[in-house]
Structure 1
Amino acid sequence: MIIDDFVIIDGENGLYCKYGDFYLDPKLPAKHAVVTHAHADHAVSGNNEVYCTRATATIMQLRYERTAAKVFHITPYNEPFTIGNVKITFISAGHMLGSAQVLMEYDGTRYLYTGDYKLQPDATCEPIEWVTTDVLITESTFADPAVIHPDPVEEIKKINDIKSNILLGAYGLGKSQRLINLITAHAPQKKILVHHRIMPINAIYEHMGYSPGKYQMYGRKLMKVQDEFVYIVPPFTFDSYIRATGVKRLFASGWKNLQVNQQDTLFISDHVDWNDILETITRTQPKQVWTLHGDGRHLKNHFKDDIFVKILN
């Protein structure tokens, strides 16, 4: 039997499961935190006990140092563990290195929380895995029939036609490593420079067997030469270079509002689009779909009476 309040939005703290007394990706420090991946909007510092994959713990420790958590419970994919009365299994989510879906089993019912996930191939992280579930608790960031993400390979090939140096804005964790890999494979004549704050993250990827590709750390003298350099920088640096001359400015994202010019866009997203969510529902075969982190109304209208859709946020 599906329990309607198996997980709830607990005020400012986020998604809470009272049957195991734990939070999923809490927004504020929690006693027991199940963390799906290391992006800052899912992995805050100061939790007492954190349950996550090794890559997630390693990146959190890099980012937060001593305040990352009092205790880490590091669990591989597909190895069940228990919190309270809930059996939990991490399932690869394909979003970034170490990202996990959270399969929760309680009183004979299965609840699958996706966290952030993607179906597109990505050589810099573990691919998504599929399990069946009674309830699919899915992010709905791009749950809109009007949003269909283009092929990332075709997107990155666009930079082959740009002969000037490129200032490429991207989130430092996950997206930057994927871009390095795509450029190395599909625009090999480009010389990739990386902002110094991204280098330690690259080192973690390499240590865990997911080398992004060919790159070197940024040097000011290098970018003064027109030699088809691509300088990958995090958002705060990208914004500070708004008046940069002699370079083409691009920002790699699935969000239209983050594209900085109309002539050259890079729509590369690490989230599922409308078709991906429908594919996920087909693969996981849920009786109910619960949505969060976006707008679930399109899914509710799409399935009508075929599948019950509940909007959590």
Structure 2
Amino acid sequence: MILDDFVHFNANGLYCPYGDFYLDPQQPVKTAVISHAHGDHAVSGNNEIFCTESTRQFMHIRYGKNAGKVFNIAGYQQKFKVGKVDITFIPAGHILGSAQILMEYEGISYLYTGDFKLQTDATCEPYEFAQADVLITESTFARPENLHPDPVEEIKKLNDIKINILLGAYGLGKSQRIIQLINAHAPQKKVLVHHRIMPLCKVYEDADFKLGRYELYNRKAMKQQDEYVYIVPPFTFDSYFNAVGVKRLFASGWQHLQVNSQDTLVISDHADWNDILLVIERMQPKQVWTLHGEGKYLATHFRNSIFVKTLG
């Protein structure tokens, strides 16, 4: 029997009372199972953490000694137990080390996707389809009009920009994906990277996800007009709003974050509407629970076949 309260939100985040743990808690907790290392999923200060090795490394880079007290590392498809719940990590395709979290309890399986994508990405483990009775899915882009373009075609737009580019991108995941895409599809560009992004890139390289050519930013190089692309995190990008002699672009799946109507770079690390439908159709879960977005469009789409509810 599916338990309606198998996971639910409280003040600390998404809680599983049957295993006494949180999934990607929003506040520090006693026991956290973390899907990936982005800051809105992996906060500092948890007492005990279950995650992949890459997620642990990213958290230590970002949080130092405050990353967490005890880390329990599990590989993909390696079953372990937290409380009375059996857990397995399955690749989510979002960033390096990202995991869907398969939870099994009293003969019923619940799959928490975390953030995920199906698009090809040479910088992380590819998404793997799984089976579960209940799909607990992110719904960030779960609207019929949200259809992501081909990232290769988006990167190729850079070939038509002949001046230096100031490119805003999230430091973890997006930046590394863009570095690899530029090297593969705009190879004449010279990639410069902000100093806060460099140690994150090293984790990728050490995990044998090679990004291609890039180097640490230096001001002297950027003063030349030599088809440089300087990749910076959002806080730095915002501080350069008056930058001259460069084309400003921000890489995001959100249209409202594009800064030039004539030059956009729409690259998302989340599943779009069609990808979410594909996952549901392949899995055929008995129920779908949505979070991190809107579930009403999925509820309408599957109203005659699958029960859909919104967790938050």
Q: CA deviation at 1:5?
A: 0.7
TM-score by length of 2: 0.99
For residues 17-58 of structure 1, the C-alpha deviation after alignment (integer angstroms, 9 at most, x for no partner) is 000000000000011100000000000000000000000001
Number of residues of Structure 1 aligned to a counterpart in Structure 2:
312
In structure 1, the residue matched to 2:7 is 7
In structure 2, the residue matched to 1:207 is 206
Stretches of structure 1 that go unaligned for 5 or more consecutive residues are none
Q: CA deviation at 1:208?
A: 1.1
For residues 164-211 of structure 1, the C-alpha deviation after alignment (integer angstroms, 9 at most, x for no partner) is 100000000000000000000000000000011100001111111112
Q: Name the CA distance, whole Å, in 2 between partners of 1:291 and 1:66.
A: 34
Equivalent residue letter for 2:63: Y
Q: Name the CA distance, whole Å, in 1 between partners of 2:212 and 2:40.
A: 27
Equivalent residue letter for 2:48: E
Q: Name the CA distance, whole Å, in 1 between partners of 2:282 and 2:91.
A: 14
Identity over the aligned pairs, expressed in percent?
69
Q: CA deviation at 1:87?
A: 0.3
In structure 2, the residue matched to 1:101 is 100
The two structures, once aligned, show a CA RMSD in angstroms of: 0.6
**1:38 and 2:37 matched:** yes
* SS in structure 2 of the partner of residue 137 of structure 1: strand
Q: Name the CA distance, whole Å, in 2 between partners of 1:185 and 1:35.
A: 32
Equivalent residue letter for 1:15: L
Asked whether the 8 Å contact 1:15–1:26 carries over to 2, the reply is yes
Q: Name the CA distance, whole Å, in 2 between partners of 1:21 and 1:253.
A: 35
Give 1:1-313 correspondences, 5 Å limit. 1-10=1-10, 12-313=11-312
Equivalent residue letter for 1:216: E
Equivalent residue letter for 1:129: E
Moved >4 Å (runs of 4+): none
Q: Name the CA distance, whole Å, in 2 between partners of 1:130 and 1:57.
A: 24
Q: CA deviation at 1:256?
A: 1.1
Equivalent residue letter for 1:75: A
Q: Name the CA distance, whole Å, in 2 between partners of 1:176 and 1:162.
A: 19
* SS in structure 2 of the partner of residue 310 of structure 1: strand
Q: Name the CA distance, whole Å, in 2 between partners of 1:98 and 1:242.
A: 33
Q: CA deviation at 1:151?
A: 0.3
Equivalent residue letter for 1:176: S
Q: CA deviation at 1:282?
A: 1.4
Q: Name the CA distance, whole Å, in 2 between partners of 1:230 and 1:180.
A: 9
Q: CA deviation at 1:305?
A: 2.4
Asked whether the 8 Å contact 1:202–1:211 carries over to 2, the reply is no
* SS in structure 2 of the partner of residue 253 of structure 1: coil
